[in-house]
Amino acid sequence: MSARRPYIRSMDGWWRRDPFFIRYMIREATALLVVAYAAVLLLGAIRLAQGESAYERWLAALRSPWSLAFHLVLFAGLVYHTWSWFQIVPKTMPSISVGGKKLQPAVITGTGLVAAAFVSLVLLLLLLFIGS
Amino acid sequence: MKRSNAPIFWTLFGAGGMLSALIGPMLVLITGIAVPLGFLLPADLMSYPHMLKFAQHWAGKAFTFAVVSLFLWHGVHRIFHSLHDLGLKTATGAKLTCYGVALLGTALAAYSLLVIGF
């Protein structure tokens, strides 16, 4: 047996080699923020079930500067998630044809982003209406 | 041939991704910034009586459950696959941990919402 050692290129840090891969990893990293936000809300639901004093403590924690700063990060991350999500939707869904022509990816992305803006605005207006 | 369980996780991932893409940023803005600061929205919007009433309503329950559980299933699925991208070879432990977190969160959300009552 010969001691042949074939060269195998290391895959360490593969995603730092190309801006496309870096964007890919940032997009995947938004999942951490989505989970973190779900955890914040889940904790709120648990505290709500535990009673008023427990819930008040959760609410007070949300008012702390740390929480506000954290939610700014969450907000930025989720905006990027929305943006990147609708970029990949055309790549993951089966192609749709309208009038014999394939629906262009940019149209699907644009429709998704408009839908997100619309639903968000409706949600905010609904709460402004309830709050007033 | 044994049926793959991948479509279930992929559907939950897709549903959570879509829901969080549509309302995620606005929800963070509302619950994490606007209401705590009393900016744009009244600070008592998320007061104990208000949120109790919200969570006791079937629609409030359904909304809360959907947001918490689907966001979790979306996130853990993506994290699990990113661990593979980062070079994690054996996946069984990671898979159990990731999906286990989502399952636990889903169960806790369901339990809390039931305890809150109707």
Name A23's Cβ contacts closer than 8 Å, sequence gap at least 6: A84
What range defines the domain where residue A82 resides? 14-131
SS3 (DSSP) at B83: helix
pLDDT one-digit tens code per residue, B40-85: 999 899 999 999 999 999 999 999 999 999 999 999 999 999 998 8
A4 found inside a domain: no
Alpha carbons A84 and A97: distance in angstroms, whole number: 23
Contact present, B35 and A100 (Cβ < 8 Å): no
Per-residue pLDDT of chain A (132 residues; tens, 9 = 90+): 568 888 888 888 888 888 999 999 999 999 999 999 999 999 999 999 999 999 999 999 999 999 999 999 999 999 999 999 999 999 988 888 888 888 899 999 999 999 999 999 999 999 999 877
How many domains does chain A fold into? 1
A57 found inside a domain: yes
**Is B40 touching A (CB cutoff 8 A)?**
yes
Instruction: List the Cα angle A78/A125/B27 in 5-degree steps.
Output: 25
Q: What is the pLDDT of residue B36?
A: 96
| DSSP code per residue over B93-108 | HHHHHHHHHHHHHHHH
Contact flag B18-A52 (C-beta cutoff 8 Å) = no
Considering only the beta carbons, identify the residue of B20, B111, B112 that sits closest to A81.
B20
Alpha carbons B68 and B110: distance in angstroms, whole number: 10
A1 found inside a domain: no
Alpha carbons B104 and B91: distance in angstroms, whole number: 19
Alpha-carbon dihedral angle through residues B21, B52, B59, B17, given to the nearest 10 degrees: 20
Q: Which residues of A touch B79 (CB under 8 A)?
A: 28, 31-32, 35
Contact flag A41-B16 (C-beta cutoff 8 Å) = no
Q: Which of residues 53-92 of B touch A (CB under 8 A)?
A: 55, 64, 67-68, 71-72, 74-79, 81-82, 85, 87
**Which CATH number describes the domain made up of B6-19+46-116?**
1.20.1300.10
Contact flag B67-A41 (C-beta cutoff 8 Å) = yes
